[in-house]
Amino acid sequence: MSLNLSVYTIRQCSFPAFCSKLSGLAYILFSLTSFAQQKDSLKTLSLAPVTVTTTRLETNEKRLPAALTVLDGSRIQIGQPQLSLFESLGGVAGLFAQNPDNFNQDLRISIRGFGARAAFGIRGIRLVVDGIPESTPDGQADVDNLDMGAMRRLEVMRGPSSGLFGNAAGGIISLQTDNAADMPLVEGQATIGSYGFRSFRVKTGGQKGKFQYVFIGTHNQSDGYRGNSRMESSIFNLKLRYDFDSLTRLSILANYGTSPEADDPGGLTLAQVNENRRQAHPNNLRFLATESVNQGRIGIIFEKRMGKSLIFARVFGTKRDFANYLAFQAAGAGTINRAFAGASWQYQYTQQFGELNYRFRLGTDFETQADTRRRFDNLTGTRGKLTFDQIESFKNIAAYITQELSFRKATLLTGLRSDAIRMKAEDAFLSDGDQSGKRQYSRLNPTLGISYELSSKVNVYTNLGTSFETPTLSELSNNPSGTGGLNPELNPQRATNYEIGAKTFLSSRLRVDVALFNINVKDELVPYQITGQPGRVFYRNAGSSRRQGIELSFNTILAKGLSLFSNYTYSDFKYKTYKTTAGEFDGNTLPGIPKHAAQAELRYFRPSGLFAIAQVRHASDLYADDANAVTANGYTNLNLRIGGTFRAGRLGIEPFVGVNNLLNTIYFQNVQINAANGRYFEPAQGRFWFGGLKINVQKKS
């Protein structure tokens, strides 16, 4: 059977020499069953509810009155290229991701529509890694310093959550990196793939007495599917932990990422796509559109338990240096030097009164962000005269309380958070006048949820939550008037979310979750572009919009070693009132989100250590503009990967091969909303082959 697979691979592959190597690896893989095995090599699976931390109170997810998805390390790392968060996010209902192949613009993630407006990076969603915010106070998160090969757990809570996390919390993505206890003594991995993809990773971790350490270093590079789409990056993670005793610990978390090159092929018109979907736009080649990034972060976390109390404190600081070249001359080159820091203090108390359990956590957050932003003319890849220079700051001070009350089968979760925000722009480019300005906001956001256990197998819940989302500093500084300061026409958007749902654990082998939601949004932030400045995105407020949807996940263990994970999302998102000089869009569908999205993943792990994973992703058509006049086609992708985990004593070998977009489906990996000059479309890469080998040495028992 493996020999036939190898022959099929060579015949169908667009890169015969490379695929011949992969098919040979696949043949070896299926011949390794005689390799000495450990008895526990079968990947065991449980669908039982787990304890989650996304709400800042450790809670059993079954009793949590909110829609939440948890993916463990096996769903994130096994047999994956581990290049992008995109690889795992298809397993989350209610979440839609685009732009996995353009590392210049970064991955675009939306949860119930929040984040779909992003020109680059993540907007409107709070991203947290090991308890340290990756999202800046103004609501922007970049993923170019995330190493998916370092992640052991992913939690996603859906719906507006400003009552818990403040500004731009339309959803929460919480990532946790590998722990020392789960790490091998040393591990190395090499992966190669189509379009010049190469990845190398080394891991090590250990414990000596009260001290623990984890180090992970990764280098990625790719020539890209399209012209002018090369990327290169290196990421390093260091985690240190010292346990003073069983109740007190101190953790130090350090991360450094450098990307000297991430080229931008740009959006194409439909005519250009039909002519050659792999081409870069001529202007992106002419002006050498690219970016470079260096970012370092360090965080310190202190935790101490004292009987029924818990004290949690953290401080962190991030420094980010960014430079880019856009596909036009006037002010087409820019730099941003960012300093982002914060501190948080939390106190938790737990008390039991008979059958009544009560917990609360109160705390304060302080975060500050300072961006020095400059723009120059782009003289075909070199900086010309200075045209823009200002220092922008964003400060947020918040106090909050989260309370949980449980009595028998019912759980009540409440939250209340107060945020005080100050934004300021100091204009240092005074030849056209002083456009300095500032803004202040204060917001009080409540959240309320109730969960009830109908039976040992079924929990139902409902919740009400609110959110507010200020424009980011980048969005405010992109003033269509061409002046500095903060765009005076741009206001924060506000949302209210109503949700009902059920979590059913019908047996140890079957779990079904369903959530229905309605979100009313005022002053929806909407992106648009201006002719002559492709790649620069401006923003305006729509009057109001309404988002309704259904999220369904179905997970089951079909047989020993065979499991199915599937989800489906229905999104009915429409403008209620929205009018611009281009027309009136009342009743139109919000662009950038498909009405139907689904994924099914079948996973099979044999006791011998072999595994096979088949994944189908589907997204329906979506609109690219507010007028609903431009449509991007829907698609269905088939991804496959096979591999094995083989062990002899302390030595472990894990070869794997895979192919994404096996059917070579033609579709768009990203759509630029309301693009200028018809440049809406960024074609997705075709069939992508990859293969790799992981070798590790376990610690002595």
Gap between the Cα atoms of 559 and 670, Å rounded: 38
For residue 190, the Cα-to-chain-centroid distance in whole angstroms is: 24
Bridge partners for 341 per DSSP? 317, 368
Other CB atoms within 10 Å distance of the CB of residue 408: 10
For 542-581, what is each residue's pLDDT tens digit?
889 999 999 999 999 999 999 999 999 999 999 999 998 8
Does residue 510 lie within any of the structural domains?
Answer: yes
Does residue 26 lie within any of the structural domains?
Answer: no
pLDDT for 478 equals: 85
Q: Could you tell me if 65 and 450 are in contact, meaning their C-beta atoms sit under 8 angstroms apart? A: yes
Greater confidence (56 vs 278) lies with: 278
Q: Which two tokens stand for residue 108?
A: 């675009």
Q: Could you tell me if 498 and 518 are in contact, meaning their C-beta atoms sit under 8 angstroms apart? A: yes
Gap between the Cα atoms of 434 and 651, Å rounded: 66
For residue 686, the Cα-to-chain-centroid distance in whole angstroms is: 23
Q: Taking all residues of the chain, what is their mean pLDDT, rounded to a whole number?
A: 90
Confidence class for position 46, pLDDT limits 50, 70, 90: low
pLDDT for 633 equals: 95
Domain count, the chain: 1
Gap between the Cα atoms of 426 and 374, Å rounded: 12
Does residue 256 lie within any of the structural domains?
Answer: yes
pLDDT for 344 equals: 96
Is residue 268 scored above 70 in pLDDT?
Answer: yes
Type of residue at 636: T
pLDDT for 266 equals: 95
CA distances from 549 to 573, 597, 698 (A): 8, 11, 46
Is residue 534 scored above 80 in pLDDT?
Answer: no
Q: Kindly state the percentage of the chain with pLDDT values over 90.
A: 75
| 3-class SS of residue 635 | strand
Q: Mean pLDDT over residues 17-45, rounded? A: 44
Q: Kindly state the percentage of the chain with pLDDT values over 70.
A: 93
CA distances from 172 to 8, 85, 159, 605, 622 (A): 43, 14, 8, 31, 24
Q: Could you tell me if 112 and 549 are in contact, meaning their C-beta atoms sit under 8 angstroms apart? A: yes
Nearest to 522 by CA among 496, 494, 547, 541: 494
DSSP 8-state secondary structure symbol assigned to residue 40 = T
Greater confidence (28 vs 249) lies with: 249
Angle between helices 2-12 and 16-30 (to 10 degrees): 170
Confidence class for position 357, pLDDT limits 50, 70, 90: very high
Is residue 461 scored above 80 in pLDDT?
Answer: yes
Q: Mean pLDDT over residues 634-654, rounded? A: 95
Does residue 212 lie within any of the structural domains?
Answer: yes
pTM beyond 0.75: yes
229: left (phi over 0), alpha (psi -120 to 50) or beta: alpha
For residue 615, the Cα-to-chain-centroid distance in whole angstroms is: 19
Is residue 26 scored above 70 in pLDDT?
Answer: no
pLDDT for 245 equals: 94
Gap between the Cα atoms of 179 and 251, Å rounded: 12
CA distances from 532 to 328, 383, 560, 583, 630 (A): 7, 18, 59, 21, 20
pLDDT for 2 equals: 32
Gap between the Cα atoms of 298 and 281, Å rounded: 39
Gap between the Cα atoms of 515 and 503, Å rounded: 9
Q: Could you tell me if 565 and 605 are in contact, meaning their C-beta atoms sit under 8 angstroms apart? A: no
Does residue 6 lie within any of the structural domains?
Answer: no
pLDDT for 499 equals: 97
Nearest to 669 by CA among 100, 4, 10: 100
Confidence class for position 69, pLDDT limits 50, 70, 90: very high
pLDDT for 405 equals: 95
Q: What are phi and psi of 375, to 5 degrees?
A: -130, 140
CA distances from 661 to 113, 278, 618, 632, 669 (A): 25, 16, 11, 18, 12
Is residue 18 scored above 80 in pLDDT?
Answer: no
Q: Which domain holds residue 175?
A: 31-697
For 485-508, what is each residue's pLDDT tens digit?
888 889 999 999 999 999 999 888
For 369-390, what is each residue's pLDDT tens digit?
999 999 999 999 899 999 999 9
DSSP 8-state secondary structure symbol assigned to residue 330 = T
For 582-616, what is each residue's pLDDT tens digit?
889 999 999 999 999 999 999 999 999 999 999 99
DSSP 8-state secondary structure symbol assigned to residue 14 = S
pLDDT for 51 equals: 82
DSSP 414-453: EEEEEEEEEEEEEE--GGG----EEEEEEEEEEEEEEEEE
For 101-147, what is each residue's pLDDT tens digit?
999 988 899 999 998 888 778 888 999 999 999 999 999 998 889 99
Other CB atoms within 10 Å distance of the CB of residue 363: 18
Does residue 534 lie within any of the structural domains?
Answer: yes
Type of residue at 111: I
Does residue 108 lie within any of the structural domains?
Answer: yes
Q: What are phi and psi of 273, to 5 degrees?
A: -60, -45
Confidence class for position 218, pLDDT limits 50, 70, 90: very high
Greater confidence (46 vs 271) lies with: 271
Q: Could you tell me if 109 and 125 are in contact, meaning their C-beta atoms sit under 8 angstroms apart? A: yes
Q: Could you tell me if 280 and 328 are in contact, meaning their C-beta atoms sit under 8 angstroms apart? A: no
Q: Kindly report the CATH number assigned to the domain that includes residue 439.
A: 2.40.170.20
pLDDT for 13 equals: 45
Does residue 12 lie within any of the structural domains?
Answer: no
Gap between the Cα atoms of 126 and 140, Å rounded: 8
- The b/e string for 452-469 (b: 16+ C-beta within 10 A; e otherwise) is bbeeeeebbbbbbbbbbb
Residues with Cβ within 8 Å of 543's Cβ and at least 6 positions away in sequence, in order, are 522, 523, 524, 575, 576, 577, 578, 579
Confidence class for position 60, pLDDT limits 50, 70, 90: confident
pLDDT for 163 equals: 85
Gap between the Cα atoms of 540 and 523, Å rounded: 9
pLDDT for 483 equals: 77
Confidence class for position 14, pLDDT limits 50, 70, 90: very low
CA atoms within 13 A on the CB side of 250: 6
Confidence class for position 484, pLDDT limits 50, 70, 90: confident
| 3-class SS of residue 502 | strand
pLDDT for 45 equals: 58
Is residue 19 scored above 70 in pLDDT?
Answer: no
In this structure, the strands spanning 132-133 and 51-52 are unpaired
Q: Which two tokens stand for residue 244?
A: 């003073």
Q: What is the SS3 string spanning 230-265?
A: CEEEEEEEEEEEEEEECCEEEEEEEEEEEEEEECCC
Q: Which two tokens stand for residue 392?
A: 């922008």
